[in-house]
Structure 1
Amino acid sequence: MSANKDSDGGWKSFVWNSEKREILGRTGISWLKIFLFYVIFYGCLAGIFIGTIEALLLTLSSYTPTYQDRVAPPGLSHTPRSEKSEIAYKLSDADSYKKYTDAMTDFLKKYDVAEQAGGMFENCGDIPKNYIDRGSVDTLLEKRSACRFERSLLGSCSGLTDTHYGFKDGKPCLIVKLNRIVNFKPRAPTDNESLPEALQGKLQPNLIPIYCKNKREETEGKIEGIKYYGIGEGFPLHYYPYYGKLLHENYLQPLVAIHFTNLTLNQEVRIECRVYGANIDYSEKDRYQGRFDVKFVISS
């Protein structure tokens, strides 16, 4: 019994030693010094971290990216998108293509006429023109107006007359856009040599044309009857440059609708679409740089 008492007393004595006035083996002054040391130590670390971040932020602009060379411009994307760039559905099953038509409807909502009212939108016309200079991003920080782009320009792919965007009839549409890049100015092709044969002789000033064809030779002749809708059937230059979300919050990218009116059913058909411009390149490592490919599998 005495051994247990001694043991209990030793444990209690370590927690609070009334003779030496120590808590857990240290006096109050000792604990205060340790506390102050770690407060100062971690305070200095936090100050160094915050100072480093603040110094970095001083080199950055809220309106334009400091570096834009990590990804070569521009990217070309389409709606609806799907896993592994494959659009597959059955004509007899409306649910199989509903996700595609819903995606297009959601995407085009901001292109409704009602969404483009107000003084921050301007009518820039439906003829391709040169760039519209709205001032420098670095010196003029007021918000910029944006050109209207009404979805009616997309013809039969606008969803205004056909809410199924051709999917119901096996003639699907794709909505294509160039990705936004602050201050980027795509340059129109300067001669016919850089264009595919189908576009030669159709070169328009102030326009970035787009063209789609079969990706593989064995599918040639299975994608005839492609129609293009939009301003000049391409991307007009007067929608550029883009000034960023803070200064150009109402900006609408110009769109091109691609209508595949004669796809072969019950077969895999792979299509590649490219835009053509003097400063638009392509990369084998990035299949969305200036182009994209998509596979259609439409079952009857």
Structure 2
Amino acid sequence: MPSNKDDGGWKKFLWDSEKGELLGRTGGSWFKIFLFYVIFYGCLAGVFVGTIQALLLTLSNYKPTWQDRVAPPGLTHTPRSDKAEVAFNLNDVETYLPYTKALRDFLAKYDDENQRDQMKFEDCGEEPADYKNRGDLESDVGVRKACRFSRTLLGPCSGIEDRDFGFKDGKPCLIVKLNRIVNFRPRPPTSNESIPEEAQPKVQPNVIPLFCTNKKEEDAGKIGEIKYHGISGGFPLQYYPYYGKLLHPQYLQPLVALQFTNLTLNTELRIECKVFGDNIDYSDKDRYQGRFDIKIQINSL
């Protein structure tokens, strides 16, 4: 008998036919509470959507609103490994094959046949020139043309004649670039005060100079000659500023090819490369901010 009463109590709670209540509430009570939550959550959704819309009105489609977390510019190289190390054996093609493949893949977009479209590319000269002004970011100019950069400018490091980029002969190449930053205009150094004496001859108008040397004192004299291939061995200003992916989809960064022509064999060498400019800084916390260092070891045994 008690179980029957309990069963009847649950059934009555679910639906009370005498009072017309479902789960203890009448139809009118359910309608009022449903209406309340519809209005309540509708207002919350309206506030949320309004806040997002107000935020979007303050953002530009073409340039990040805040760039204070990006310390310009980053300097990177190809080929690149996790340990910033290039090591190979002259007598074993397999040891340097990944490096040459990385260089070929990277330079593929710089092939001349990919830069022939007159609507997307223009010639900007093979000598350093001033910034190429293509209008403001927010102007109605639309998509901007990109400067051509021919692989032939990289000389023996272009991969056109030497598919091994010097690795086979113990004269490896590195391709160096400045990372893209929207609307950033690198400024060449105006004085030699902060530039090492050996790098001062590379300073010239309208180009950001690049200079590499031994990182460790004990490696002095073991690096040999480093050849710089590109436009004046640096980063010419006519390739700046960069207008972003929407306005500058075909943009090609200027490149500098480094060729190490006389490295001491069977020795681990630490090499540091830096770019110099009035608005280029370095950080001990970021080894690629305005510079990088790399270990190179060529084995012949």
SS at match of 2:197: coil
The match for 1:292 is 292
C-alpha distance after superposition, 1:109-166 (max 9, x if no partner): 1111011011221111111111122122233442211110011111111111222222
**Contact kept? 2:131, 2:239, Cα under 8 Å:** yes
Please give the residue correspondences for 1:140-179 in structure 2 after superposition, counting only pairs within 5 Å: 140-179=140-179
The match for 1:184 is 184
**Contact kept? 2:135, 2:141, Cα under 8 Å:** no
2:233 is equivalent to residue 228 of structure 1: no
Count of residues in Structure 1 that have an aligned counterpart in Structure 2: 299
Equivalent-residue separation in structure 2 for 1:299 and 1:23 (angstroms): 85
1:92 Cα deviation (Å)? 4.2
The match for 2:71 is 72
1:272 Cα deviation (Å)? 0.6
2:43 is equivalent to residue 59 of structure 1: no
The match for 1:49 is 48
**Contact kept? 1:76, 1:290, Cα under 8 Å:** yes
Equivalent-residue separation in structure 1 for 2:208 and 2:5 (angstroms): 91
SS at match of 1:245: helix
The 4+ residue runs of structure 1 with deviation greater than 6 A are none
1:196 Cα deviation (Å)? 2.7
Equivalent-residue separation in structure 2 for 1:151 and 1:42 (angstroms): 60
SS at match of 1:278: coil
Equivalent-residue separation in structure 2 for 1:10 and 1:265 (angstroms): 92
SS at match of 1:78: strand
**Contact kept? 1:130, 1:237, Cα under 8 Å:** yes
The match for 2:97 is 98
SS at match of 1:83: coil
SS at match of 1:271: strand
The match for 1:277 is 277
Equivalent-residue separation in structure 2 for 1:93 and 1:215 (angstroms): 28
How large is the RMSD of aligned CA atoms in angstroms? 2.0
Equivalent-residue separation in structure 2 for 1:48 and 1:165 (angstroms): 59
SS at match of 2:258: strand
Instruction: Give the letter aligned to residue 250 of structure 1.
Output: Q
Deviates more, 1:238-247 or 1:22-31: 22-31
Structure 1 residues 165 and 51, CA, compared in 2 at 3 Å: closer, same or farther? Answer: same
Give the TM-score normalised by structure 1.
0.91
Equivalent-residue separation in structure 1 for 2:251 and 2:279 (angstroms): 22
Instruction: Give the letter aligned to residue 286 of structure 2.
Output: D
**Contact kept? 1:192, 1:201, Cα under 8 Å:** no
Equivalent-residue separation in structure 1 for 2:266 and 2:9 (angstroms): 86
Instruction: Give the letter aligned to residue 159 of structure 1.
Output: G
The match for 1:243 is 243
C-alpha distance after superposition, 1:40-60 (max 9, x if no partner): 222212211111111111111
2:122 is equivalent to residue 128 of structure 1: no
The match for 1:266 is 266
Structure 1 residues 210 and 16, CA, compared in 2 at 3 Å: closer, same or farther? Answer: same
Give the TM-score normalised by structure 2.
0.91
1:93 Cα deviation (Å)? 4.1
**Contact kept? 1:141, 1:247, Cα under 8 Å:** no
The match for 2:139 is 139
The match for 1:3 is 2
Instruction: Give the letter aligned to residue 179 of structure 1.
Output: N
Deviates more, 1:248-257 or 1:32-41: 32-41
**Contact kept? 1:185, 1:240, Cα under 8 Å:** yes
Please give the residue correspondences for 1:208-219 in structure 2 after superposition, counting only pairs within 5 Å: 208-219=208-219
